[in-house]
Amino acid sequence: MAAGHSGVGGLQKLFCAGAGDGLDHSMSAYEPEPDRVWDEYEWERFLQQQDHKTEKYMELLEKYLDHPQRDQIIAREMGWTQLLNEEEGDSWNDEVDAMLAEESNSVGNELDASDEPAEFVDGFEDHTLYRAAFALTVWIDQLFDDQAALQNEPAAVKLATHSALASAKLAAALSDDDVDEIGMTIAYLKRALKAITVSMEAGAQLLTEKLITPQQHSVLQQRLFEVRDGIITLMGQYRGEWLRRFGSL
């Protein structure tokens, strides 16, 4: 395979589509009891493992980006042995995407699907909480446009990246209508909450360093609290639904 930047597209698909983490559901490392619904803690442990795999892939891609044998090296390091004998370089991304998609479906295929209450099945784009999180990222983008110097400030970058991360986690949490995956939804919501908390800390730092005005911070804080409180409320609703269906957390 020739060196180049074809792998970057595959990485972006892996990171962004799975920025909800739900696209790399390999079961090899963590397998609880079969035929049993996972709770939020099992999903958290599982998603942490997927974080490590994503981080490893990103590190390998950065390290070997211009290496003539980049794809073979990455496949070997990631344990993707089925790709090592691939001769057509153009099919690398297609093979990676197909492999990730297959792994993504491996968990869902093992769980029994059933109907979800109406309040849990709306598309995530139409959910009030997701729209609030997305509006937050738009507001931050506008702030960066108005104050271009913020793009070089670590606290501002942290604010932008973690707000976007929260939005992605919410999309993952709200996009699944399988009642048996309530535990996964709660795990995603907890990750979104963590990202928003980091964003709040970054916003406070921007104010302390006088990089934004008190008025700007007041608007930012209001938007952050709206998302944070919405996540906490939704987590409570899903935990209540879990208790109603399964009896214990």
What pLDDT score was predicted for residue 189?
A: 92
Q: What's the DSSP call for residue 13?
A: I
In the chain (249 residues long), the average pLDDT of successive 10-residue segments reads: 39 38 41 62 75 72 78 81 55 55 50 42 76 95 95 92 91 73 87 94 96 96 96 91 77
CA distance 225 to 236: 16
What pLDDT score was predicted for residue 144?
A: 95
| 214-245 burial code (b ≥16 CB/10 A, e <16) | eebbeebeebbebbbebbeebbeebbebbeee
Contacts of 87 (CB under 8 A, 6+ apart): none
What pLDDT score was predicted for residue 200?
A: 96
**177, two tokens:** 């209508």
Instruction: Please tell me the CATH code under which domain 118-246 is placed.
Output: 1.20.1440.60
CA distance 121 to 180: 13
Instruction: Give residue 79's region: left, alpha or beta (phi > 0; psi -120 to 50).
Output: left
Give, in degrees to the nearest 5, the angle at Cα 233 between 230 and 234. 85
What pLDDT score was predicted for residue 225?
A: 96
Three-class SS state of 134: helix
**221, two tokens:** 């804080």
Q: Where are the alpha helices (DSSP H) in the chain?
A: 6-12, 40-64, 70-78, 92-108, 128-146, 154-174, 182-208, 214-246
**210, two tokens:** 């006088």
Instruction: Determine contact, residues 212/220, Cβ cutoff 8 Å.
Output: yes
CA distance 143 to 163: 13
Tokens 């104010």 locate to 207
pLDDT digits (tens, 9 = 90+) for 86-115: 544 445 555 555 555 555 555 444 444 334
In which residue ranges of the chain is CATH 1.20.1440.60 found?
Answer: 118-246
Q: Quick one: which of 89, 78, 86 has its CA closest to 50? A: 78
Side-chain-side CA neighbours of 112 within 13 Å: the count stands at: 5
User: What is the value of pTM for the model shown?
Assistant: 0.59
Q: Quick one: which of 116, 87, 62, 97 has its CA closest to 238? A: 116
Three-class SS state of 182: helix
What pLDDT score was predicted for residue 95?
A: 57
CB-neighbour burial class of residue 66 (10 A; exposed 0-12, middle 13-18, buried 19+): exposed
